[in-house]
Amino acid sequence: MVTAGDIAAEAGKTARNILSIPAGVIGDAYAGYIKDPPLEGLIPNVGVGVARQACRRYADNPDGLPGAVAAGFERVCRPYLDDIGYGQAPTLEKPFEGGQCQAVYVVAYTGSQNGEVQVSGTIAALGPIQGIRGRITETGARVVELNCRGVNLGSDTCIGVANSGQGWYLLAGIGSSGPQPTASITSITPCAADNCGNPPPVFTKPKPPTTPGPVSEPYAPGPGVNIDIDLTIGPTGNITFNIGTGPITIDPFGGGDEGGDGGGSPVSGLPPGDIGSPGAPAETGEGGAASGCAPANSVLVGIKINILVSPEYGSEYDPLVRRGVCYAYMGTSTNLALEPSGVALRSGQMLFAPLDNLTCWEVRANTGYVLQVIPYYRALEAEEV
């Protein structure tokens, strides 16, 4: 007999799978999965509610997680967060063009507080120009500084500038009070050839919403159904949620241990390294295809691809890794999704199924390749069937 605790545990699996979908799949069949989930039924939709609640709680404090975990949340959550207008996405911006040669440039700049320009000027500077900043000094002064190899504050023309070494040089003072100043370069004019490229992009961190949401929020997975999802995110990215049946912990980004107590249960009880058992190998033939599905009461864990024959002039990333070997698909008999890892492959490489309930696979070899595909299946325990 199915209990509410069983529903919560299965919903946790759905939430973990949605949040941990690989980047390549996000770019293909599952783009916007949390925003517009193609799921039906009570249990999957409760899982979507957990995933959405996790996205909102991440957006409340995006700086509170390790970088790789935060990037994982951004990848899967941002379409949904943008759709509901919850916080702001991170950005990458080019700060200015050129300025990277060891030569003299004429640099125009501004320094601001509270969004209002307080100082501006134009000076000669010796490149590379690696950035500009506003800061509060140890004595409380608000200043604008340029990172370069030297400045001539008395000139706004192409004039010689002494090489004092790469570092931060004072351009102007704003005052001794007020908020943290900001600064920007409005133009860089080269005094010689400017063919040394551009500076790296500037990363702007994601911004949380003005008013963070509550830890517990209601979710309506179906008509007449309204449940409270209580959810917190741990410091490593593990997610603990409770729909009233006891806490359950999932770890979609691999930052901590998974487990549960109360009315819940661990999302996975498999021993470390368990990838099921190999099925019968299948060969594609030259430029051909091979496919198969898991036996009854089993799921697909992944496929191992051995390169039996490769074209003489096949493209390589290195002597072991071939480029454009095949197209690999995993899913169900009627819904297969492209697994992009097949475009960069070494013989014997394992491609793992992006979700833990898939059943079927297909591999199409590119011209000149003959491949052997070994599927790995895992038989479900009685309580999983």
Lowest average pLDDT, out of 164-168, 207-211, 311-315, goes to: 311-315
In this structure, the answer to whether residues 294 and 159 fall within a common structural domain is: no
Based on the domain organization, do 78 and 145 belong to the same domain?
no
Rounded average pLDDT over 242-256: 80
Which pLDDT score, from 0 to 100, does residue 22 have?
Answer: 54
**In the predicted model, what is the mean pLDDT of residues 38-63?**
83
Tell me which DSSP letter residue 214 carries: P
Give the predicted TM-score (pTM) of the model: 0.54
Please report whether residue 321 resides in a domain: yes
pLDDT at 240 over 70: yes
pLDDT of residue 360: 92
pLDDT score, position 26: 42
Q: Report residue 343: phi and psi, to 5°.
A: -80, -15
- C-alpha torsion sign, points 325, 331, 336, 338: negative
Q: Is residue 197 part of a domain?
A: yes
The pLDDT of 261-278, averaged and rounded, is: 57
Q: Quick check: 263 pLDDT over 90?
A: no
Indicate whether 54 and 21 sit together in one domain.
Answer: yes
385 part of a folded domain: no
Whether residue 266 is contained in a domain is answered as no
**Which sign, positive or negative, has the C-alpha torsion 115, 118, 120, 126?**
negative
End-to-end CA distance of the chain: 13
Residues 375 and 295 sit within 8 Å (Cβ to Cβ): no
Name the one residue in this structure whose structure tokens are 């100082």: 119
355 shares its domain with 296: yes
Comparing CA positions, the residue from 9, 5, 13, 10 lying closest to residue 252 is: 13
DSSP 63: G
| Residue bearing the bigger pLDDT, 188 or 368 | 188
> Where does a domain end: 178, 201, 224?
201
Does 67 map to a domain? yes
Apex 51 CA angle, 73 and 28, nearest 5: 65
Instruction: Specify whether 55 is located in the same domain as 114.
Output: no
Distance CA 269, CA 256 (A): 15
Q: At what angle do helices 42-60 and 4-19 cross, to 10 degrees?
A: 60
32: containing domain? 4-85+208-260
Strongest mean pLDDT among 62-66, 130-134, 224-228, 381-385: 130-134
Task: Give the integer Cα–Cα distance in Å for 184 and 129.
Answer: 12
Query: How confident is residue 260, by pLDDT bands cut at 50, 70 and 90?
Result: very low
Q: Are residues 374 and 288 in the same domain?
A: yes
Q: Is residue 143 part of a domain?
A: yes
258 — pLDDT class (breaks 50, 70, 90):
very low
- CA-to-CA distance for 196 and 193, rounded, in angstroms? 9
Look at 28 and 211; give whichever has higher pLDDT: 211
CATH of residue 336's domain is: 2.60.120
Band (pLDDT 50/70/90 cuts) for residue 2 is low
Residue 316 and residue 227 share a domain: no
Average pLDDT value for the chain: 82
Considering 183, 201, 219, which residue would you say is the last residue of a domain?
201
Q: Where are the alpha helices (DSSP H) in the chain?
A: 4-19, 23-26, 42-60, 67-84
Q: Could you tell me what percent of the chain has a pLDDT over 70?
A: 85
Taking only the tens place, the pLDDT of each residue in 93-134 is 788 888 999 999 999 999 998 878 888 899 999 999 988 988
- pLDDT at site 272: 64
Mean pLDDT, rounded, for 309-338: 79
- Would you say residue 269 has pLDDT above 70? no
Domain boundary among 161, 178, 201: 201
Tokens linked to 245: 């049946």
Q: Residue 343: which pLDDT band, with cuts at 50, 70 and 90? A: low
Lowest mean pLDDT among 16-25, 319-328, 337-346: 16-25
248 & 313 share domain: no
Strands 322-323, 116-126: pairing is: unpaired
Pair 154, 173 in one domain: yes
Is residue 270 in some structural domain? no
Question: What's the structural domain count of the chain?
Answer: 3
CA distance 160 to 48: 63
* DSSP secondary structure string for all residues of 97-147: S---SSSEEEEEEEEEETTEEEEEEEEEEESP--EEEEEE-TTS-EEEEEE
Share of the chain above pLDDT 90, in %: 24
Q: Is the pLDDT of residue 385 over 70?
A: no
Cβ distance 207 to 191 under 8 Å? Answer: no
Rounded Cα distance, 157 and 104, in Å: 10
Q: Which pair of tokens denotes residue 292?
A: 């198969």
Q: How do strand 167-175 and strand 142-148 relate by DSSP bridges?
A: antiparallel
Single-letter code of the amino acid located at 373? V
pLDDT bucket at 138, cuts 50 / 70 / 90: confident
Tokens of 290: 């091979």
- The C-alpha atoms of residue 385 and residue 381 are separated, in whole angstroms, by 7
pLDDT at residue 27 tops 50: no
**pLDDT exceeds 60 at position 255:** no
186 shares a domain with 115 = yes
Range picked from 173-182, 252-261, 334-343 for highest mean pLDDT: 173-182
Are residues 149 and 241 both part of a single domain? no
The pLDDT value given to residue 363: 92
Both structure tokens of 332: 């169900």
Q: What is the pLDDT of residue 29?
A: 41
Going by the DSSP 8-state scheme, the letter that residue 88 receives in this structure is B
Residues 213 and 79 in one domain: yes
H helix and E strand count, the chain: 4, 25
In a domain, 155, yes or no: yes
Q: Would you say residue 383 has pLDDT above 50?
A: no
Q: What is the pLDDT at residue 151?
A: 94
